């Protein structure tokens, strides 16, 4: 009978060591960086713009309040024809203001005696009405600024996104301008989001080249041997 051999100590070189958690944690932090900074931009943008938001009333906001109230009255009455407001494009502003005011707060101002902006400005409760519309504008602007940062991070990288996000969030002029019920409040943020989204889409599809600014096969209509007369010369990018 053969006696069992005594247990041997395992070679430490052959022991499977668990993977280090440090690199994985750092990788997760880097991956979640854009999301965390985007959320931070949104939260800080809202908080900064809500400070003393009712301190000053601008002259143009009376016109936009009148347009918003009449627009909301038309929506409440299901009169789509009356939603058309002549004089200035600003449908996004009117929708935002109306959603911030809400049907219950709007009801006392549905009367035709508030059809003119100066009568509306003197009406009891006008300040609360304007404040509600402004707060909704702040939320929308903060969302657009956060989206601008996220798109910038994807298109340009971390440093431009961080720098631009801080400037858009804390610059005094931008803060003051982007908490009013006015078309200019949404104009620049919407243009920035549109431009960045367009550039991302364009570059993801091989943008930066025209039909005549890249090499083409010999059978291509825009190849040097078969360049049509209508094909412009290649621009210098």
Give the model's pLDDT for residue 112: 83
Minimum mean pLDDT range among 69-73, 110-114, 129-133, 140-144: 110-114
| Percent of all residues in the chain with a pLDDT value above 90, rounded to a whole number | 57
Give the model's pLDDT for residue 195: 96
Asked whether residue 23 is assigned to any structural domain, the reply reads no
Asked whether residue 199 is assigned to any structural domain, the reply reads yes
For range 221-237, the mean pLDDT: 44
Give the model's pLDDT for residue 65: 93
Please spell the DSSP secondary structure of the chain, one letter per residue.
-PPPPPPPPPPGGGS-PPPPHHHHHHHHHHHHHHHHHHHHHHHHHHHHHHTTTTS---SHHHHHHHHHHHHHHHHHTT-GGGG---SS--HHHHHHHHHHHHHHHHGGG-SGGG-SHHHHHTSTTHHHHHHHHHHHHHHHHHHHHHHHHHHHHHHH-HHHHHHHHHHHHH-HHHHHHTTSSSHHHHHHHHHHHHHHHHHHHHHHTT-S--TTSS---TTSTTSGGG--TTSPPPP--
Asked whether residue 8 is assigned to any structural domain, the reply reads no
Asked whether residue 191 is assigned to any structural domain, the reply reads yes
pLDDT for residue 215 is more than 80: no
Residues 122-157: tens digit of each pLDDT: 999 999 999 999 999 999 999 999 999 999 999 999
Give the model's pLDDT for residue 33: 79
Asked whether residue 210 is assigned to any structural domain, the reply reads no
Asked whether residue 99 is assigned to any structural domain, the reply reads yes
Confidence grade of residue 204 (pLDDT, cut at 50, 70, 90):
confident
Total domain count for the chain?
A: 1
pLDDT for residue 182 is more than 50: yes
Residues 76-91: tens digit of each pLDDT: 989 988 888 877 778 9
Average pLDDT, the chain: 81
Asked whether residue 112 is assigned to any structural domain, the reply reads yes
Give the model's pLDDT for residue 222: 46
For range 169-191, the mean pLDDT: 94
Residues 20-50: tens digit of each pLDDT: 555 665 566 567 778 999 999 999 999 999 9
Which range marks the domain in which residue 106 is found? Answer: 34-204
Asked whether residue 228 is assigned to any structural domain, the reply reads no
pLDDT for residue 13 is more than 60: no
Give the model's pLDDT for residue 52: 93
């Amino acid at each position: 009978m053969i006696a069992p051999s005594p247990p041997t100590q395992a070679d430490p070189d052959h022991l499977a060591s668990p993977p280090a958690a440090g690199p994985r944690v750092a990788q997760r932090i880097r991956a979640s960086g854009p999301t965390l900074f985007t959320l931070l931009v949104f939260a800080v943008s809202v908080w900064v713009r809500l400070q003393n938001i009712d301190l000053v009333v601008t002259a143009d906001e009376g016109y936009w309040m009148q347009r918003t109230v009449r627009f909301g009255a038309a929506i409440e009455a299901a009169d789509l024809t009356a939603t058309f407001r002549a004089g200035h494009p600003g449908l996004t502003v009117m929708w935002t203001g109306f959603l911030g005011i809400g049907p219950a707060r709007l009801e006392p101002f549905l009367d035709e005696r508030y059809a003119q902006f100066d009568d509306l400005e003197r009406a009891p409760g006008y300040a609360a009405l304007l404040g509600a519309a402004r707060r909704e504008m702040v939320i929308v602007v903060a969302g657009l600024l956060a989206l601008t940062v996220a798109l910038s991070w994807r298109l340009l990288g971390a440093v431009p996104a961080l720098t631009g996000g801080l400037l858009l969030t804390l610059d005094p002029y931008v803060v003051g301008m982007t908490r009013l019920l006015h078309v200019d409040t949404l104009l620049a943020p919407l243009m920035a989001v549109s431009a960045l989204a367009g550039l991302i889409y364009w570059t993801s599809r091989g943008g930066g080249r025209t039909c005549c600014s890249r090499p083409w096969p010999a059978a291509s209509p825009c190849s040097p041997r078969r360049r049509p007369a209508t094909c412009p010369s290649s621009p210098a990018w």
